[in-house]
Amino acid sequence: MPHRMHFGQDDLLRCRFAVSPLWETQEAVRTLKRPDRHGYHPRWLRRVAEASRGLDLHALWLLMPRRGHSPDFLGAPPIAPSARFDEEIAAVRTADPEAARDDMAKALACTPGAAESPKGRAMLADPAGAVRELADAMEAAWHALIEPDWPRLRALLEADVAFHSRRLAEVGLGGLLPELDRRLSWDAGTLTVEGRDEHVRHLAGQGLVLVPSVFTWPEVVSGFEPPWQPTLAYPVRGIGGLRDEPAAQTPDALVRLLGRGRATVLTALEEPATTTGLAHRLGLAPSSVSAHLAALRDAGLLLSRRYGHQVLYERTPLGIALAAGGGADTGAGAGADTRAGADTGAGVAQGPG
């Protein structure tokens, strides 16, 4: 059954993209609980196995039913295009306790017996304390699960935003939305999201926040009840690149032509990325990566463009041809969709709201 969002004229002017470290943290916690998502994040799961054992996620998991409502205040629509985690978790900590109690009660009702469990009863009896406990658990999860990889994850998410922003300029909102995921369709001002639960929302001038996500993969998550701004989280492009070790894939012929460092950087740029994101991914010093990027750009192999306070680099057609001709078995340019599991047929998760 579909989830339908009806757009008015003002809504078309108030759609925006955003990247949210809080959302990624929430979805990473959910992924640990969801074996059906594990196949999409095997390297990350191996890396965080020990760290996750030191986290107490029971309260968060109790509020993350397999189907149904998750508390909106725990993963609210991003407050800015690229907010910091400390800004987003501060907003969680200031949640109104009574509103949070209603939010938690709705989520607990989606799991049989959850509201009557000792933890469920404790959270409903002391919502202010529950907000503090949940915010502390989310912050601990951020530090253990997401923060070490955030430069690389953020670069991937921002590259997705940059790509789809260009597509928005080329094909308009009605053309863009179905491109975000095959389960989205647009007709006469209505966005339809395929799913198991029916839900209708008139955006009423609030517009829509579009959030690319690594850990939402492979699902589309839509929802949020008023007064929250309607939000759609969709699987980010290029997630397959997170599984690769680009340095190990650098073709020998390209190394002989450009040198090891520059060849490695050019090969790694299957998706646009920042200097910091590439340095973190490749295990190189940012100063070295910056020098390689400058040389490749001066040689006409890369383009650079500003996104907010950061600069993204991507291959030119010549750079794409060199990387592919050098033996990289991608055949992909900066805008190629390398998502794994895009045609899994997985259902839509009716997320927060």
Residue pair 338/272 in contact by the 8 Å Cβ criterion? no
234 close to 223: Cβ distance less than 8 angstroms: no
CA distances (Å), origin 221, targets 210, 232, 243, 322: 10, 6, 23, 38
Distance CA 297, CA 213 (A): 29
pLDDT at site 344? 30
Rounded Cα distance between 39 and 57, Å, is 21
- What pLDDT is recorded for position 225? 79
Angle 331-336-340 (CA atoms, 0-180°, nearest 5)? 95
Tokens 């839900």 label which residue?
Answer: 199
Residues 6 or more apart whose CB falls under 8 angstroms from that of 329 comprise none
Which pair of tokens denotes residue 229? 């701004």
Can you tell me the distance from the alpha carbon of 41 to that of 35, in angstroms, rounded to the nearest whole number? 10
Q: Which tokens go with 320?
A: 């794409």
* Ordered per-residue pLDDT tens for the chain, 353 residues: 688 999 999 999 999 999 999 999 999 999 999 998 888 888 899 999 999 999 999 999 999 998 889 999 998 888 888 889 999 999 999 999 999 999 999 999 999 999 999 999 999 999 999 999 999 999 999 999 999 988 878 878 888 888 898 889 999 999 999 999 999 999 999 999 987 777 889 999 999 999 999 999 889 998 777 888 999 999 998 776 665 554 446 778 888 889 999 999 998 887 788 898 888 888 889 999 999 999 999 998 998 877 666 788 888 878 887 887 644 333 333 333 333 333 333 333 334 44
In the chain, the domains with their CATH numbers are 3-238+344-350 (no CATH), 240-325 (1.10.10.10)
Question: Under DSSP, is residue 109 helix (H, G, I), strand (E, B) or coil?
Answer: coil
- For residue 318, CA distances in Å to 67, 288, 295, 300, 324 come to 47, 22, 14, 7, 10
Q: What is the dihedral of CA 9, 10, 11, 12, to 10 degrees?
A: 60
Give me the residues paired with residue 184 across strands. 193
Q: Which two tokens stand for residue 50?
A: 């020990």
Of 269, 237, 241, nearest in space to 254 by CA: 269
Q: What is the pLDDT of residues 104-140, one digit of tens each?
A: 999 999 999 999 999 999 999 999 999 999 999 999 9
pLDDT (0 to 100) of residue 159: 81
Burial 93-131 (b: 16+ CB within 10 A, else e): eebeeeebbebbbbbbebbeebbeeebbeebeeebeebb
